[in-house]
Structure 1
Amino acid sequence: MMNLGVTVYEGYDWEAIPAGAPVISFCNEEFLAALPKIRKRTRRTVFVNCMTWLFGREKEAMKRGDISLFLYQNSNVMGNVIPRLRALNPDPAIRFMTFRPYFDAADFPFIAGRSTDWFGAGHISRQDEDKFSKDTWHIYEHFASPVRKRGTFLGFDQRSEVKTGRPPDWVETFHDQKSLSQQEFY
């Protein structure tokens, strides 16, 4: 990226933000915690919550009006959270939008000749126990399949296991999301 002219700054160097520049964050609680400092440099703050629930700090930021635009990957989630966020701050200047995520299908070609002797399920995320429901194994165990099931879970470690319980024997877990590439996972 630097060869393309992108400037990379040290992390948490909020003074490097040009005055009035847009600042966007995807599902990052550190960003939410830093919003009061970021807002000293710009009011053009954008938050993309990839989850179906609200962060505590996201709600606090909404109360203060620290996020000027919320982006969502689908209208169902957006429709679910807008009333909860608007109840915290009805300011019409705070906007909500959906966007269509970019996905390069060339990196994930359709594979017509997949194995038919097993059914695959999986989960990719960074390690965070909040990425897993306490009912994870109950949910996955209820996938009905006429053939044996195989599962691959990235970003799962002892913290997640404390929350979910031990994975079923048919699930292989990896402690971080980088143990397999997305293509290997697919």
Structure 2
Amino acid sequence: MIDELCIIGHPSRLGGADTELDHQIYCWQAMGVEVHICPSGPLDDNQKAMQMEKRGCIYHEANDWASLEGMHCISFCNGQFLKHVESIKRYARTTTFVNCMSWNFDKEVEGQSKGFLDFHLYQTQHSFDKVSRKLKGHGTYRPLYFIPYFHAEDFPYIDDRLQDKFRFGRISRDDGDKFHSRQLWIYETMTSPLVKQGLILGWGPSVEKKFDRLPESYISVLPPGAISQRAFYAQCEAIIMSTDTFENLPRVGFEAMASGSILIVDNRGGWKLEVEDGVTGWLCNDEREFVYKASRCAFEQEERNRMRLAALKKLQKEWGLQPAMDSWARIFGQWKNFAC
């Protein structure tokens, strides 16, 4: 075990990697690790509002690399960490980069080739398979795997939703690639015994440019962050989302599973780890399968209820505190041995 570590960057409640970092802090502190934060730039209002010092985190001045002397430093998909990793490496005991994507940052490859990155962390085999190709053969490459902790307390389970309509939605940032080109067609084609009511959280100029139109009137669109994630899931019986991207291990999936919203998602990437088709949600190979399974979800209330409970149990078993602590303990052991 280690006594302390320092985050380069800052957690957030917006964005996958920053949200994931927020949850890992709960896990590290539960293990007795003192968590330091060295921001890589000015904090925005969302980051300030988190008041991490009240959770026991110790702040360093932004970009004060000298203050990292002798510390294990970790960063989750932070470009500024990669930009300054040579300077950070002068002081840090170890440097670790967590790539939550399915592609490489140019500076990530450069940092590895120059020996500035000691460890690379991955959540999934499919992410490693994609990201490791450009890193192997550049110095000593030390990939490690961890089981991410999901802090389900932030997303209370809801089992008393209104049943007068079939309410569905999707959530992401304003990125056209996060939306499959047939996403609106799926919503408009699927059927329901009740009136359909949709909610898209994350609609903005990029998404509207992709579709060149607004959805039908029964689907409301809101910009990113217009309502809380908790409020979003409370309104959605089902999360029906198809993307043009390859998802690593989507936090949206964990949030939906904790909240009791049924997942109807792509049969690829991290969705396949989160969803057992027909048991904890539905996986779809194409837009027509989306229409069929979304329609089935709308009609079969008892099946929905079985699925949402099965999904919650899967989340607690596979991404709860104990499995995450066990995996981080192995990583901390590697850090400690490397630095001896």
- Alignment TM class, shorter chain as reference: 0.7 to 0.9
Among 11, 24, 27, the alignment partner of 2:74 is: 24
Structure 2 SS opposite 1:54? coil
TM-fit CA distance, 1:14: 0.9
C-alpha separation in 2, matches of 1:53 and 1:171 = 32
Mark the runs of 5 or more structure 2 residues left unpaired by the alignment: 1-51, 234-340
The alignment's TM-score, normalised by the length of structure 2, stands at 0.44
Cα displacement (A) at 1:161 = 4.5
Shift of 1:174: 1.6
1:139-150 correspondence runs (5 A): 139-141=182-184, 143=186, 145-147=190-192, 148=196, 150=198
Q: Distance in 2 between matches of 1:163 and 1:25?
A: 33
TM superposition shift of 1:138 = 0.7
Question: 1:59 aligns to what?
Answer: 109
Deviation track 1:38-94 (CA, whole Å, cap 9, x = no partner) reads: 11112511111122221222222222222111112222211222123215x1x33x3
Q: Which range moves more in the overlay, 104-113 or 133-142?
A: 133-142
CA RMSD of aligned residues (A): 2.9
Size of the aligned set, in residue pairs, is 172
**Is structure 2 residue 153 aligned with structure 1 residue 110?**
no
Q: How far has the Cα of 1:121 moved from its partner?
A: 1.7
Highest RCO, 1 vs 2 (Cα 8 Å, sep ≥ 6): 2
One-letter amino acid of the structure 2 residue matched with residue 24 of structure 1: I
Show the counterpart of 2:87: 37
Partner of residue 201, structure 2: 153
Partner residue of 1:119? 168
Against the structure 1 CA distance between its residues 5 and 85, is the aligned structure 2 distance closer, same or farther, given a 3 Å change threshold?
Answer: same
* Distance in 1 of aligned mates of 2:147 and 2:213: 33
SS in structure 2 opposite 1:50? coil
1:159-179 CA-partner distances (Å, limit 9, x unpaired): x3487455642352325x4x3
Q: If each structure's helix is expressed as a fraction of its own residues, which one has the higher value?
A: 2
**Structure 1: 5+ residue stretches without partners:** none
Q: Which residue of 1 aligns with 2:222?
A: 173
SS class of match (2:58): coil
1:143/1:44 Cα in 2 relative to 1: closer, same or farther (>3 Å)?
farther
For residue 65 of structure 2, what is the aligned residue in structure 1? 14
Taking the aligned partners of 2:105 and 2:210, their CA distance within structure 1 comes to 20
| Match of residue 184, structure 1, among 231, 256, 259 | 231
State percent identity of aligned pairs. 29
DSSP 3-state at the match of 1:138:
coil
Q: Output the TM-score relative to the length of structure 1.
A: 0.74
